[in-house]
Amino acid sequence: MRLLFLGDVVGRSGRKAVLAALPDLRRRYALDFVAINGENAAGGYGITESILFDLLDAGADVVTLGNHAFDQKDALVFIERHDRLLRPINYPQGTPGRGAGLFKAPNGADVLVINAMGRIFMPELDCPFRAIEAEIAACGLKQGTDAIVIDFHAEATSEKQALGYFVDGRASAVVGTHTHAPTADERVLPAGTAFISDIGMCGDYNSVLGMDTEEPVNRFLTRIPRQRFEPAMGPGTLSGLAVEIDDATGLAFRCMAFRSGPHLEPATPDAWAI
């Protein structure tokens, strides 16, 4: 199985880049499953239902969220209507939406996707480790599903790496999101779980985390907000992780950083091209 996970879509720049490129990426690399973190897709703050439809229509199989999941208040309502939109599983009981889903890939494989949020330097939620453990126990690799992919939306690399080793050999991939800066530690862990601390964002990298530079710089200099953060509007770069999963075991045997667009050095799985 060939999986592509794209990082946090930030504003119009990120949306345009994803919508323009994703249909061709699915064809060119014969992708079996595509996941996208969309929690900053609506002007940098949450996601709207129309944007969700756009991402799904472009070729995403599932869209995950994070700490901005409900910035768009309508999300509290429409998230209940969409099985392919996930918010972090460790939100308190009663929070609208779901944190995990079992999805059928076009090749017929079942893929369990889990969205969880870290707790270090983040809003205090329930324990992500225990929440993920419960999902894996209920639907294990080659028992209830052919692949397990975890989007761990977290700030601290230590927390992300700890989770990677916690599920190593029991999940196909652990993909870190949230920091909007791609790390260079993509690898397959010893027991067969693909891992990266952060896949970065899909958006304008001539920015501060996808936002126009003026206001972030002002706040660091003065500590006084002057205006709302606004997404940078330059050309967008796609950033993510490509993973090859063994159909027999559900574990990864190769993963590669994916970057396409201006400002970052390109990295694509050209060996997959058809």
Residues 104-153: tens digit of each pLDDT: 999 999 999 999 999 999 999 999 999 999 999 999 999 999 999 999 99
Tally of domains in the chain: 1
Q: Lowest-pLDDT range, 94-98, 115-119, 222-226, 269-273?
A: 269-273
Global pTM value = 0.96
Q: What pLDDT score does 3 carry? A: 98
Residue 271 has what pLDDT? 81
Tell me the average pLDDT across 145-171: 98
Is residue 23 within a helix (H) or strand (E), and if so which, with residue range?
helix 11-28
For the stretch 71-116, pLDDT in tens is 999 999 999 999 999 999 999 999 999 999 999 999 999 999 999 9
Dist CA 86 CA 38 (whole Å): 10
Residue numbers of the domain that contains 147: 2-272
CA-based torsion, 22, 210, 177, 75: positive or negative: negative
Q: For 53-76, what is the mean pLDDT? A: 97
CATH number (domain holding residue 100): 3.60.21.10
pLDDT band at 227 (very low <50, low <70, confident <90, very high): very high
The C-alpha atoms of residue 266 and residue 269 are separated, in whole angstroms, by: 10
> What is the rounded CA–CA span in Å between residue 3 and residue 240?
10
Contact (Cβ atoms closer than 8 angstroms) between residue 243 and residue 255: yes
Over 80: is that where the pLDDT of 274 sits?
no
Tokens coding 140: 């294990």
Q: So which residues are the catalytic ones?
A: 68
CA distances from 7 to 14, 35, 80, 246, 263 (A): 10, 9, 23, 23, 16
Per residue in 172-187, pLDDT (tens digit) is 999 999 999 999 999 9
Which pLDDT score is estimated for 270?
86
16, burial (CB in 10 Å: exposed 0-12, middle 13-18, buried 19+): middle
* CB distance 84 to 76 below 8 Å: no
Percentage above 90 pLDDT, the chain: 98
Give the DSSP letter of residue 267.
B
Which stretches of 29-156 are DSSP H helices?
49-58, 75-78, 128-138
Helices 128-138 & 157-166, crossing angle to 10 degrees?
A: 30
